[in-house]
Structure 1
């Protein structure tokens, strides 16, 4: 077993011995009982001269290889979403290229892809007329459908800043849904993920916002595949799930309570569109295969071990979760460095990353524990923590 010195609170170090010495779960597989998308991160080009704080550059080859790894595990890829730092380092021009590249590869692989269409090409920190927001949504929806990808109709910062009532949301969404060619996935992102989306659907009261959203869904049922909600409130998701039309899916975006929500209550369950699946993909795929086999004990055994890790990665401030997702991809050898567009690798402390390492090991999601320990040591050394991995 490998032992590594990890920092803890109080400027102390403790010897941590890894629980696992080899990969716990396979890196290929498929499942049927649920449709599950993994929102996927992007890999920065660490050799680029582009300034990271201005967005930096993307390593397209490594970014695409990671999507192939997710597809091999049975997941659909939710492309150019907040996990890819959309609007938080990933510009719309970068997102367009990302969607185009993934769509071409998805066609080759016959793989599932849904991509974000929003309004983020509009200059930030301004307000707009509803007509301008409609036009912005139309432009991005036309682009996404032109690549062959399904649309995820992303929540709009511009709409949140400009709308005066729930009627404005219904006006904009109704217009956009009238124009799409195939059913879309709606996207309701809570303010813990993006503070600029506070009061979405026209109310800061969740129950009122939910009622207004449901009214829209019933009106445009034939244009809506499902809705992803990321409110980190399982009771609200269950409440809304029960009120959806039978033809409309609930895609859980709850990175805290996904095992229970995906399992369901016998009559109803959620599908998934989750950022945490980027970090725990092999374990999640194995758990969903257990669900196919109706082995609920195995399903919960696998998933429940990942929940402490997920809650840590998505701890407050929740929007910094992308740092933990990319850090775990680095530990697992899916990329050669721990650098991010926008310089976001600095959004979490070394203590946070050290605890992430512990919890990832305990969850069995380190693909190569020895490699992960070596890379953890490098990160610690850069933070001024000199020590050796001891075997």
Structure 2
């Protein structure tokens, strides 16, 4: 099944493959909002944050958010029947957002979720710690556990489901798989409702290399599974972001009954979400913040039992997803913010910490083409206008 989008009269000249090429835009896809909750999958879109355009959005500067635009984006995601995963790496945790700003984001998102009835999960980590201040050994592990619990209490207090994020501090201090288990056991004994455990691969954050005590994925998975099996009643699900579909499927099949796998694979999400007769993954994805109209429509097709149509819609966004998350993967947030700006969801192409410079003009030009082909430029006239402005300030005339 092929999805097609009729051409328009809009043409933008873009730097593609080392030369300037004319690109004729198409029309938006046939996306729709659901009439009620999506039933077939639990799906979270990991939302980004929007800074004030007049703020000092430079590397190292404190985060200064445009709260109206940031929270409006979350309402947009909820309106399509998706949950919002907030205060995650997509929201620039560890890349411009400090803990004080993050805690405020969690509280405000919690208030908005309560008003709208939207599903909300928020990340709890240890980023209030300076890694250099964390001692080695038992004292360091105790400090990391205390930091986790502080953040867990903020998330729970906001009414959100807790996502226990991977900790750079723990990766730096832990000397063995048992050190990871020691910390996580105390956390799972502390929570009063099931949490989501988040395993983020080093392609997203190089500081997390060797998480769960080994650079060997099979060994790390064994440690991870032993924790989940021991505390299955405290685990709602796991989010795995290793960009390895075969590993995810094997892990999903090994999980205890009742523990979900929320795919974090922004490359292979179509087949993982649609699944097969042996199961499927739910979703907690950064790419869903970019493709949410298509993602919602695909999930509605799954609700209706049309797996072929659902798969075709998700497949139509795959090339865009792979481009947004191309190496260095941790700059994927730049593409998500750029697409939000093209679609009028934020007033300027600005990011906390100067991260708007994380991708090149040719990269963002290709993103423009792929988003258009996927039918994800909601207002082609606005998108073309903003793209021309962006190209013009970068010395590329029309």
1:164-243, aligned counterparts within 5 Å? 164-243=175-254
- Measured in 1, the distance between the counterparts of 2:66 and 2:356 equals 16
| Structure 1 unaligned residues grouped into runs of 5+ | none
Deviations 1:223-269 (A, max 9, x none): 00000000000000001001000110000000000010011121211
Aligned match of 1:70? 77
Of residues 56-65 and 223-232 in structure 1, the stretch that sits farther from structure 2 once superposed is: 56-65
Give TM-score, length-normalised by structure 1: 0.96
Deviations 1:132-174 (A, max 9, x none): 1111111111121112111000100000000000000000000
2:358 to 329, 347, 360: 347
Aligned match of 1:122? 129
Deviations 1:24-43 (A, max 9, x none): 32355542100000100000
What SS is found at the alignment partner of 1:187? strand
1:284 to 272, 285, 295: 295
Determine if contact 2:63/2:101 at 8 Å carries over to the other structure: no
Deviations 1:86-108 (A, max 9, x none): 11111110000000000011111
Deviations 1:112-142 (A, max 9, x none): 1111111000013454311111111111111
Aligned match of 2:16? 8
Aligned match of 1:44? 51
Paired positions, count: 385
- Measured in 1, the distance between the counterparts of 2:57 and 2:271 equals 43
Of residues 292-301 and 221-230 in structure 1, the stretch that sits farther from structure 2 once superposed is: 292-301
For the structure 1 residues 278 and 309, does the alpha-carbon distance in structure 2 shift closer, same or farther, using more than 3 Å as the test?
A: same
Determine if contact 1:23/1:368 at 8 Å carries over to the other structure: no
- Measured in 2, the distance between the counterparts of 1:295 and 1:360 equals 24
Determine if contact 2:63/2:98 at 8 Å carries over to the other structure: no
Confirm or deny that 1:25 pairs with 2:13: no
Confirm or deny that 1:141 pairs with 2:149: no
- Measured in 2, the distance between the counterparts of 1:28 and 1:65 equals 18
- Measured in 2, the distance between the counterparts of 1:376 and 1:125 equals 42
1:258-269, aligned counterparts within 5 Å? 258-269=269-280
- Measured in 2, the distance between the counterparts of 1:152 and 1:231 equals 17
Aligned match of 2:164? 153
For the structure 1 residues 312 and 49, does the alpha-carbon distance in structure 2 shift closer, same or farther, using more than 3 Å as the test?
A: closer
What SS is found at the alignment partner of 1:18? strand
Aligned match of 2:104? 97
Shift of residue 50 of structure 1? Answer: 6.3
1:242-281, aligned counterparts within 5 Å? 242-281=253-292
Aligned match of 1:362? 373
Of residues 296-305 and 200-209 in structure 1, the stretch that sits farther from structure 2 once superposed is: 296-305
Aligned match of 1:83? 90
For the structure 1 residues 283 and 9, does the alpha-carbon distance in structure 2 shift closer, same or farther, using more than 3 Å as the test?
A: same
Aligned match of 2:329? 318
What SS is found at the alignment partner of 2:354? helix
Compute the RMSD of aligned alpha carbons: 1.2
Determine if contact 1:103/1:113 at 8 Å carries over to the other structure: yes
1:371 to 369, 376, 382: 382
Deviations 1:55-75 (A, max 9, x none): 441001110000000001011
- Measured in 2, the distance between the counterparts of 1:373 and 1:27 equals 25
- Measured in 1, the distance between the counterparts of 2:155 and 2:353 equals 24
Of residues 166-175 and 104-113 in structure 1, the stretch that sits farther from structure 2 once superposed is: 104-113
Shift of residue 337 of structure 1? Answer: 0.7
Give TM-score, length-normalised by structure 2: 0.95
Of residues 280-289 and 140-149 in structure 1, the stretch that sits farther from structure 2 once superposed is: 140-149
Runs of 4+ in 1 over 3 A off after TM superposition: 27-30, 49-53, 124-128
